Structure 1
Amino acid sequence: MYQKVQSIRVVATFFGLWISAYILGNFQDYVAFFLIFSLGILHGSNDITLIKRAYNTKNLTFLKVLMSYLLIIGVGTTLFFSIPPVALILFIVFSAYHFGEQHFHFLKIDNGIISYLFYLGYGLLVITLILYLNASDALSIINEMIGVIISLDVLRWILLISAILTIITGALVYLKQKFNVFIELFYLFLFSIVFFASNLIWSFALYFILWHSLPSLADQVQYLYKEVTKETIIQYIKSSFIYWLISVVGFFVLVQFLENSPTVMLSFFFSFLAAITFPHVLVMHKILKD
């Protein structure tokens, strides 16, 4: 089953690469944003239910979970307004670890420092590939978000460091539990081709949806309902719909107060994703390590 899902994702990624060559301009971005705001936001919309299940104690009421969830989002949002460089670094680190953990959780390796660094290194490598291969747009957005000029050399060094970290920790993980190194290298090669041929938003959408959100949704459905079927997927959508709707509507309401600039809009978009990412990463770490 796992191999079949992987094959489908590879085919879908090549299809996404074809789309990047034949569907140009704003329409491609519209499709990307549609995918992100539908499946992408949906995969983090059931966090409150997941938190209650993962931390199953009598004292953990819905109100306590909701207030804790909103508090974490509030702290993340405040950081982006007060010290944006620190907030951006935390967002990238949290997201990188989360991407790596989701991609390799099938290994079921011990949750030690080596596995943590492996997840972090791999996720950071993927994120930096997206940024580096779309450097012009990426650096404009980063500079707008944090008010600090970041050069291409910074991305180049992060790419090198993350690659070295992934290789070293990956070798150590491989000694404990064998995995198909060649297929993982093929995936990275495929990602690189897609990121190089596509713009920033389409590159992010393809990886975020196909290689992160969909597998995460499957894991969450399995965790909550013990199996992934048409019926349990519908149950998941019903239980998360109101949170998804609030997130999407809230974003578009806040957008109305921004100046009509693509760079400003994109910087706010990634800031919004960052704010809702922090609590999601924490609860998924709890679920995946159990």
Structure 2
Amino acid sequence: MKNYTKFAIVASFFGLWMDSYFSTRLQIISGFVLILSFGILHGANDLQLIDKIDIVKHKNSTFRILIYYVIVVLMGILLFYLFPLLALVIFIVVSAYHFGEQQWQKLPNSLPIWSRILYQFLYGFTILFLLFVFHTNQVQNIIFNITNFKIPNQYFWELLKVTGIAFISLSCYLYWKILKIRKKLLLEFFHLVVFSIIFKSSSLIWGFAIYFVVWHSVPSIIDQIKFLNGSVSKKHFLSYCKAAAVYWFVSILGIALIYFFLKEEQLFNAVFFSFLAAITFPHALVITRMLHRK
């Protein structure tokens, strides 16, 4: 993963350089293309992961898993329909932990489980709100379209300050307490600086796409392929894509239908992120179980 980290930094700044040549509309289109390709792909193989995690096999287990998975997604969509503000808060919390867990999956087991979970959450939450504070007006509009509730500008900054202080404090404690993760801590703080530059210099969708694809989705795909096959190769990647193809296509079809009926940009963004949230809930749980198995 060390080589991939170097690639991710180069790819991020290349994306930032491309940003200067893209119009706002082209940034949005390119961002959605990235999200809909690797972004959706990294969550389209959950059923195969569950099948690998579930040691005890049952009759028609794949079909049962599919039914359970669809039910969870539909419950997520229903939650956004009935209680949109609550659903959005849950989505942000789950996404923050999911992002942090991916980046900090190798925290020492000697740490209490609550401190590992808290640290992973604070890291992901910091990333999300770094993105939010640089695009407050757009985020406000999306939240308003989802929940019909307008969040004051200062709330974003205050939440980032509180989270940032808690994250830095816990990082200092870990730096003092655990020698073997000191380099990792310094590297991740450097990554946060990189993310800040990207979020500040690009549009909301393009900045999110760079982080979501380059720093989250692709590393997650690598971890999943290793978990499923023991190693990463071209053959295993093609096998992964083949297994995920049907579920990826269904997701793309659903998003295409949303776009067809909701062509107004702000409304589409709102519904798109609601849909993304609904499929994130079960995916985050699957990845957590996968990492625990590893």
Measured against the shorter chain, the TM-score band is over 0.9
Structure 2 CA distance, aligned partners of 1:54 and 1:23? 43
Give the residue type in structure 2 aligned to 1:253: L
Equivalent in the alignment of 1:205? 209
| Maintained 8 Å contact 1:118/1:165 | no
Equivalent in the alignment of 1:121? 122
Secondary structure at 2:20's aligned position in 1? helix
- 2:80 is the counterpart of 1:80: yes
- 2:178 is the counterpart of 1:179: no
Shift of 1:254: 3.1
Equivalent in the alignment of 2:53? 54
- Within a 5 Å distance, the mapping from 1:56-71 to structure 2 comes to 56-59=55-58, 61-71=61-71
Structure 2 CA distance, aligned partners of 1:64 and 1:55? 12
Secondary structure at 1:119's aligned position in 2? helix
Equivalent in the alignment of 1:97? 97
Equivalent in the alignment of 1:283? 286
Shift of 1:250: 1.5
Shift of 1:122: 0.5
Equivalent in the alignment of 1:139? 140
| Maintained 8 Å contact 1:114/1:172 | no
Secondary structure at 1:45's aligned position in 2? coil
Structure 2 CA distance, aligned partners of 1:108 and 1:286? 17
Structure 2 CA distance, aligned partners of 1:286 and 1:172? 27
Shift of 1:111: 6.4
The Cα offsets for residues 162-206 of structure 1, whole Å up to 9 and x where unpaired, read as 212212332344424523232222111111111011010001000
Structure 1 CA distance, aligned partners of 2:17 and 2:112? 38
The Cα offsets for residues 141-166 of structure 1, whole Å up to 9 and x where unpaired, read as 11111110101111111111221221
With structure 2 as the length reference, what TM-score do the two structures score? 0.94
Structure 1 CA distance, aligned partners of 2:165 and 2:3? 30
Structure 1 CA distance, aligned partners of 2:238 and 2:229? 11
Give the residue type in structure 2 aligned to 1:289: H
Q: Give the stretch that moved more between structures: 75-84 or 245-254.
A: 245-254
The Cα offsets for residues 117-162 of structure 1, whole Å up to 9 and x where unpaired, read as 0010000000011111111111111111111010111111111122
Shift of 1:281: 0.2
Name the % identity. Answer: 35
Aligned residues: 288
Gap change, CA 1:138 and 1:9, over 3 Å in 2: same
User: Tell me, which stretches of 5 or more residues in structure 2 are unaligned?
Assistant: none
Give the residue type in structure 2 aligned to 1:262: E
Structure 1 CA distance, aligned partners of 2:91 and 2:189? 26
Gap change, CA 1:111 and 1:247, over 3 Å in 2: farther
Shift of 1:28: 1.6
CA RMSD of aligned residues (A): 1.4
Shift of 1:23: 1.4
Structure 1 CA distance, aligned partners of 2:132 and 2:112? 29
User: Tell me, which stretches of 5 or more residues in structure 1 are unaligned?
Assistant: none
Equivalent in the alignment of 2:266? 263
Structure 2 CA distance, aligned partners of 1:67 and 1:158? 38
Q: Give the stretch that moved more between structures: 151-160 or 225-234.
A: 151-160
Structure 2 CA distance, aligned partners of 1:191 and 1:225? 31
Shift of 1:217: 0.2
The Cα offsets for residues 252-284 of structure 1, whole Å up to 9 and x where unpaired, read as 1233233x3211000011001000000000010
